[in-house]
């Protein structure tokens, strides 16, 4: 028999948290310099598989089983942690598991998923899967979930996601603070945490302040979403939150580093994000008891730290030694282009299209066949890289716009076109995925 007191368990799944077996909350003693307010971090890497999403994975499966669904193989779009949780619950339950996810997810998480036996379907998608993207992780998982013997539980739309937090995270916070909690702060991804736990806490005491924290557009913090992406998220319920705060990557990563050094807490990047928001929102007053959710720890994010905390890496390890110097130059040019003035959003692309500018769609023909901008010139990247300029303006001073599925291949196309002498090239951030998500016109592709 499992016994939380002795911490002796019959099954790994019995370690999943509950009011009787909560993940710890730890008071922050230094950062923030609070004199009166008590600010606690809730350390979610004490979940059995290392992140807050273990709660969701377990509840998605429990709910489906209790509804009598016959589960054999699961497929899920994930930014990593739900996939890790579902992979391990599936292993314990002897289900098969496949995850659809963006190639931008840190290598550590993708490797971890493979270690757990997951069949990975890697796609050109946003860091966090976005709804409405025809070639994204969500659409792909929905498609794969239709096969016989497969089920997509879909954390983005399944009420068992916020319910996991209503049943566990919320009650734990309430009990751990003996009902004294005044502020609850969480970073925003699917919004399962804030919506589920927030609802529970407000039912106990409507005065509890529920505060959401999100990153800026184009951020590099796995697991969370910018305001633009949140607008398309089913469980984002802004009317139910008391405050929503935007934080930039630099601030989040700097705070993540300080948490290790000043509080001895092995926080991951989204903990830094949540805490940065909390520091803005929490008044330093007597009686204030704040709990900030720390979704997972740092160890899965070394490749993110390499980009945001480069001082941690000795110069010889700051970037792997290039085996092919040309590839390294291309990579540098890519990074420069990615953050340079030649990246435009879909609305600007639409304006240029209307003004008669050539849009070059560099996706492959199967992708184009699914959805495309009719007026765009179709020139797949492999052909462009072999030197083809079919359909492009002869005048190399004429403006041209490159477009792909998610904004990565179009940047390579931009570099290739510039190398061929095109002087005015722009690349569309988010590509067709963003175009479709913005409701811009598509039609039967031509040519």
Ligand X SMILES: Cc1ncc(COP(=O)(O)O)c(C=O)c1O
Q: What residues act catalytically? A: 53, 270
201 near ligand X, judged by CB under 6 A = no
**Cβ-based neighbour number of residue 150 at 10 Å:** 16
Question: Which position among 190, 226, 304, 410 is part of the footprint of ligand X (CB under 6 A)?
Answer: 190
- How far apart are CB 345 and ligand X at their closest, in Å? 25
Residue closest to ligand X when measured from CB atoms: 223
Q: Tell me the pairing of strands 183-187 and 289-294.
A: parallel
- How far apart are CB 193 and ligand X at their closest, in Å? 3
Residue with Cβ nearer ligand X (39 or 86) = 86
407 near ligand X, judged by CB under 6 A = no
Task: Give the interface segment with ligand X, choosing from 59-67, 191-199, 250-258, 397-405 (CB under 6 A).
Answer: 191-199
Largest CA distance in the chain: 77
The CA-based angle 349-354-360, given to 5 degrees, is 50
100 near ligand X, judged by CB under 6 A = no
Residue with Cβ nearer ligand X (173 or 224) = 224
Task: Give the interface segment with ligand X, choosing from 189-197, 259-267, 404-412, 433-441 (CB under 6 A).
Answer: 189-197
79 near ligand X, judged by CB under 6 A = yes
Question: Which position among 268, 272, 277, 380 is part of the footprint of ligand X (CB under 6 A)?
Answer: 268
53 near ligand X, judged by CB under 6 A = yes
How far from 267 is each of 6, 257, 312, CA to CA, in Å? 27, 8, 15
193 near ligand X, judged by CB under 6 A = yes
308 near ligand X, judged by CB under 6 A = no
- Residue 23 sits at φ, ψ, to 5 deg, of -70, 150
- How far apart are CB 394 and ligand X at their closest, in Å? 49
187 near ligand X, judged by CB under 6 A = yes
Residues numbered 220 to 249 that lie near ligand X (CB under 6 A) are 222-224
Task: State the residues that interact with ligand X by CB under 6 A.
Answer: 51, 53, 79, 81-82, 187-193, 222-224, 268, 270, 295-296
């Amino acid at each position: 028999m499992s016994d939380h007191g002795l911490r002796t368990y019959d099954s790994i799944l019995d370690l999943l948290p509950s009011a009787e077996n909560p993940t710890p909350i730890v008071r922050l003693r230094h950062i923030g310099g609070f004199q009166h307010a008590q600010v606690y971090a809730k350390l979610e890497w004490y979940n059995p598989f290392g992140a807050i999403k273990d709660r969701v994975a377990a509840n998605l499966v429990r709910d489906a089983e209790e509804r009598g669904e016959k589960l054999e193989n699961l497929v899920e779009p994930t930014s990593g942690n739900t996939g890790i949780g579902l992979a391990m619950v599936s292993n314990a339950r002897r289900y098969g598991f496949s995850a659809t996810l963006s190639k931008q997810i840190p290598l550590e998480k993708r490797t971890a998923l493979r270690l757990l036996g997951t069949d990975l379907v890697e796609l050109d998608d946003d860091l966090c899967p976005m709804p409405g993207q025809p070639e994204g992780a969500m659409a792909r998982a929905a498609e794969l979930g239709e096969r016989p013997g497969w089920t997509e539980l879909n954390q983005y739309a399944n009420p068992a996601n916020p319910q996991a937090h209503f049943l566990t995270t919320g009650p734990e916070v309430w009990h751990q603070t003996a009902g004294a909690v005044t502020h609850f702060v969480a970073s925003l991804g699917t919004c399962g945490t804030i919506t589920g736990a927030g609802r529970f806490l407000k039912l106990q005491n409507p005065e509890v302040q529920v505060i959401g924290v999100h990153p800026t557009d184009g951020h590099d913090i796995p697991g969370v979403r910018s305001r633009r992406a949140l607008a398309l998220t089913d469980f984002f319920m802004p009317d139910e939150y008391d405050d929503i705060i935007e934080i930039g990557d630099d601030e989040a990563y700097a705070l993540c580093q300080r948490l290790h050094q000043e509080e001895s807490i092995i926080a991951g990047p989204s903990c830094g994000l949540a805490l940065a928001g909390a520091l803005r929102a929490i008044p330093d007053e007597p009686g204030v008891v704040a709990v900030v959710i720390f979704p997972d720890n740092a160890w899965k994010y070394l490749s993110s730290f390499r980009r945001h905390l480069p001082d941690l890496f000795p110069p010889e390890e700051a970037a792997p030694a290039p085996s092919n110097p040309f590839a390294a130059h291309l990579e540098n040019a890519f990074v420069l282009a990615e953050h340079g003035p030649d990246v435009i959003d879909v609305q600007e692309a639409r304006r240029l299209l209307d003004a008669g500018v050539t849009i070059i769609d560099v996706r492959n023909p199967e992708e184009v066949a699914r959805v495309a901008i009719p007026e765009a010139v179709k020139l797949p990247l492999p052909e462009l890289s072999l030197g083809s300029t079919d359909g492009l303006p002869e005048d190399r001073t004429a403006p041209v716009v490159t477009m792909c599925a998610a904004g990565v291949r179009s940047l390579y196309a931009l570099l290739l076109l510039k190398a061929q002498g095109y002087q005015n090239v722009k690349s569309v951030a988010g590509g067709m995925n963003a175009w479709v998500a913005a409701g811009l016109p598509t039609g039967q592709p031509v040519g």
